[in-house]
C-alpha cells in the first residue's frame, strides 16, 4: 500500500522504515530536507496515487492543526488523513468535521512503542469509521506487533482517548516504582537496591517492561547520580485527569503521579530520577543531567533489554 508520512522524527522515521520493510511504498516529508523525500506537502500529495492516505506524525496542538488545514486544501474527496501524534480527542473531532466537509476521511491513532517500535512493533489505538479503518488495515497490520497490539476503539477521537488513558496509567506505574526505589535507598535495611529490583524481574506480580528498563537504567548509572530529579509531562496526564473530572471518575493514583511531576520541578527529587530515567529509556525523552555530568540515553551501547510487543511510548 502507498502512504505519505509527515514527520520523520524518532517515531515517524522508524514507523516509515518499518512500513518500507513490510513492502509498502512510503513517501516521507520532514522539515529537515536531509531526510525528506519531497520538498513540501504539495509535492507529497502529488506523489501519491488517489485515493490517498497521509499519516501525520507531528507534535500535537498548533503543528498538527496547521498540517491538517494544509492537507484539507490539497487532498481530494476519498482521501484519508491519519493523526498518529498525541492529539487531544476533542481536537480529533474538530479535524474530522473540517476534513469531512471536504469529503476527506479522518482516523485518529494513538501510537505506543517508543524507540523500540521499529524492532518490536507499535501498539495502535484507532478511532474512526469502520470503512476508513478497514481500508487502512494493511498499514496497521505492518506497524503492529505480530500478536495483538491493535484496537479499533470507536469513532473519531476514541483512539486518542484510549491512548490518553494508557499514558495516565503509565504515570501511576512509573511513580510507584520511583517511590519504591526512593524508600529502599533511604533505608539502612537493604544494602543492594539495584539487586532487589533485578530480583523482581522474574516470578513476581510486578514484573514488567518498565521494571526491566529501570534495571537497565540502574546498570548504566548506579544510584542515578548523573540525573537530576526533574520529570517533564507530555500533557496527556493532564488531559486524563481533566477527563476524570469531566466524567466524575476518581483517579487518585494518576492524579498524584501527575502532581509529583509538578513537584519535581521545584527541587531535585530522588523519586523523579527514576521517572526521568524510565521516560528516557522507553521513549528517548530528554533528561536533565546534573552539572558536569552527561546523562546516558536509551541508545547507549550494551543494551540488553528486549521489550515486549506492547512497549510503552
Spatial CB neighbours of 117, under 8 Å, sequence gap ≥ 6: 11, 14, 15, 18, 111, 143, 311
Q: How far apart are CA 251 and CA 261, in angstroms?
A: 16
Q: How far apart are CA 181 and CA 18, in angstroms?
A: 36
Phi, psi angle pair for 65, to nearest 5°: -60, -45
Q: Which residues are catalytic?
A: 163
Residue 112 CA to its chain's centroid (Å): 5
Q: Which residues of 239-253 are buried (b: 16+ CB within 10 A; e: fewer)?
A: bbbebbeeeeeebee
Phi, psi angle pair for 52, to nearest 5°: -90, 155
Cis peptide before 51 (omega within 30 of 0): yes
Helix (H) or strand (E) holding 91: helix 89-100
DSSP per-residue string spanning 165-214: HHHHHHHHHHHHHHHHHHHHHH-SS-S-HHHHHHHTTSSSTT--HHHHHH
Q: How far apart are CA 312 and CA 212, in angstroms?
A: 12
Residue 70 neighbours by CB distance under 10 Å: 15
Output the nine-digit C-alpha cell for 104: 476527506
Q: How far is CA 8 from CA 44, 162, 217, 237, in A?
A: 13, 24, 27, 25
Q: How far apart are CA 126 and CA 97, in angstroms?
A: 17
Q: How far apart are CA 146 and CA 179, in angstroms?
A: 34
Amino acid at each position: 500500500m502507498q502512504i505519505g508520512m509527515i514527520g520523520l522524527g524518532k517515531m515517524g522515521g522508524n514507523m516509515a522504515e518499518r512500513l518500507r520493510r513490510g513492502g509498502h511504498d512510503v513517501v516521507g516529508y520532514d522539515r529537515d530536507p536531509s531526510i525528506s523525500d519531497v520538498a513540501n506537502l504539495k509535492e507529497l500529495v502529488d506523489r501519491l496515487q488517489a485515493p490517498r492516505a497521509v499519516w501525520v506524525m507531528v507534535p500535537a496542538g498548533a503543528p498538527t492543526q496547521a498540517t491538517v488545514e494544509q492537507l484539507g486544501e490539497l487532498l481530494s474527496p476519498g482521501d484519508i488523513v491519519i493523526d498518529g501524534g498525541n492529539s487531544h480527542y476533542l481536537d480529533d473531532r474538530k479535524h474530522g468535521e473540517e476534513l469531512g466537509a471536504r469529503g476527506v476521511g479522518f482516523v485518529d491513532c494513538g501510537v505506543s512503542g517508543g524507540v523500540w517500535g521499529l524492532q518490536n512493533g507499535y501498539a495502535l489505538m484507532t478511532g474512526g469509521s469502520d470503512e476508513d479503518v478497514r481500508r487502512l488495515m494493511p498499514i496497521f497490520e505492518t506497524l503492529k506487533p505480530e500478536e495483538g497490539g491493535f484496537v479499533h476503539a470507536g469513532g473519531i477521537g476514541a483512539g486518542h482517548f484510549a491512548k490518553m488513558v494508557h499514558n495516565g496509567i503509565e504515570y501511576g506505574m512509573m511513580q510507584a516504582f520511583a517511590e519504591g526505589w526512593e524508600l529502599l535507598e533511604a533505608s539502612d535495611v537493604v544494602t543492594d537496591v539495584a539487586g532487589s529490583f533485578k530480583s523482581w524481574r522474574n516470578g513476581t506480580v510486578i514484573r514488567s517492561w518498565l521494571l526491566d528498563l529501570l534495571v537497565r537504567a540502574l546498570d548504566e548509572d548506579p544510584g542515578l547520580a548523573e540525573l537530576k530529579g526533574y520529570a517533564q509531562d507530555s500533557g496527556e496526564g493532564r488531559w486524563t485527569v481533566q477527563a476524570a473530572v469531566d466524567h466524575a471518575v476518581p483517579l487518585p493514583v494518576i492524579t498524584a503521579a501527575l502532581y509529583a511531576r509538578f513537584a519535581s520541578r521545584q527541587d531535585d527529587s530522588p523519586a523523579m530520577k527514576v521517572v526521568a530515567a524510565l521516560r528516557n529509556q522507553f521513549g528517548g525523552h530528554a533528561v536533565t543531567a546534573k552539572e558536569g555530568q552527561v546523562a546516558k540515553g536509551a541508545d547507549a551501547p550494551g543494551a540488553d533489554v528486549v521489550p515486549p510487543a506492547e512497549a510503552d511510548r
